Structure 1
Amino acid sequence: MVDTKELWIKTGYDIFAKSGITGLKIERLAKKIGISKSSFYHHFVDLDLFIQYLLEFHISQSYIIAKKEVKAQNIDPDLIDILVEHKVDLLFNRQLRINREQKKYSDTLTKSSLIIGNAFTMRWVKDMELRLNEKQLEAIFELALENFYLQATVESINHKWLLSYFAYLKRVIGSFV
C-alpha cells in the first residue's frame, strides 16, 4: 500500500523543484498522482503546511547527499554521479535560492547549505588544487555556486555538462591564482 502523504510530498517536491512555487497547485498535484484533492486537505490542511513538509523533506535529502559526498573520492565520477542522482534536490535548492527573499526559503537554504556545503567544498578544493585562504575559498565557492544555479536546469544537470562545468571553473579560477 502506497503512503498517500508521502506520495503528495514527493510529487510536490518534484514539481516545486522544476516549476517553483507557482507550479504548486493542488488540483495539478491531485491530477498528477491520481488522488482526489480531499486527500490533500486530509493530510496537509492547506498549501502553507504542505510547503513546510516539502522544506523538511529537503533537509532530510540534504543529509542523505552529505553522507554520500563524504565518501566521494573525487569530482569525476564520484561527486558528479551524486549530483546527477540528486538532480531534483539541486533544482529544489535552486528554487530556494530564487525565493530566498522569503524567510522560510532562506532559512531552509541556509540549513541545507550548512549540511551539504562542507563535504562538497572540501572535495572541490582538493580536486581543483586550490591554494587559497579560507575567505578566498568561501568567496570563490559562493560565486561558483551562484553561477551554477543560474545555469542548472532539468536538461543541463547531467554527467557531460557537470564535467564541462567543473573544467570551466578550474580554468577560470586558475587564471586568478
Structure 2
Amino acid sequence: MTHKRFIALTCAAALTATTALAANPDVGGAPMFENKTIVENAVNSADHTTLVAAVKAAGLVDTLNSDGPFTVFAPVNSAFAALPEGTVDTLLKPENKEMLQKVLTAHVVAGDWSAEQIAAAARKSSDGFYHFNAVSGDALSAQVKGGNVYIYDESGNAARVTISDVDQSNGVIHVVNSVLVPK
C-alpha cells in the first residue's frame, strides 16, 4: 500500500467515524452527538442557553446526565423570553428552586420516545391525542396537526416540536417553541 493511499484511507475512516457520531441534526448551531448525554449536548446549543442555566440552577444536571432514558421537550431561548416579564429571573432565584424544578421536569418524560412513536400513539387514540405524564407528574398531551407534533400542558398551551429525534446517549431531545407550564 502506498503512503498516499494509506493516508487517504485513514482520512476516509476518520470522516466516516465523525459523520456517524454527528448523525443528529445540528441544534442551535452545534452538532449533537448520540454518544453524549442530554446536558453534554445542550450546553453547546446557542438556542438553549436559558434552558441550560435553568437546569443548573434547579440542580438537575446530574439527573439529566444519568442513564435515563429521558425524552426532553427542550424549549428554545425565545420560548422563555415569551413568558411574562420577570418570570425567568424569578424562577432562577435560589428560593424558587422547587418551582423551577417542577417547570423543568414538566418537559421531561421517562423513556426514549421518538416523534413518530408519539405521533402514532396520538393517531391511534379515539380523541386524536396521546395522553401521558411528565416526570413532574403533570399531564401532557400530544397531537398531530398539519404534519407537526404539538405537546400540550394541562392548561392547553401548545408547544410545537420544531426539531425532532435528536438522539442522546441517555434518551432523546425534541426541540419545542414554547414553555410548558405546570399547574
Query: What is the TM-score normalised by the length of structure 1?
Result: 0.32
Give the structure with the larger helix fraction: 1
Give the structure with the larger strand fraction: 2
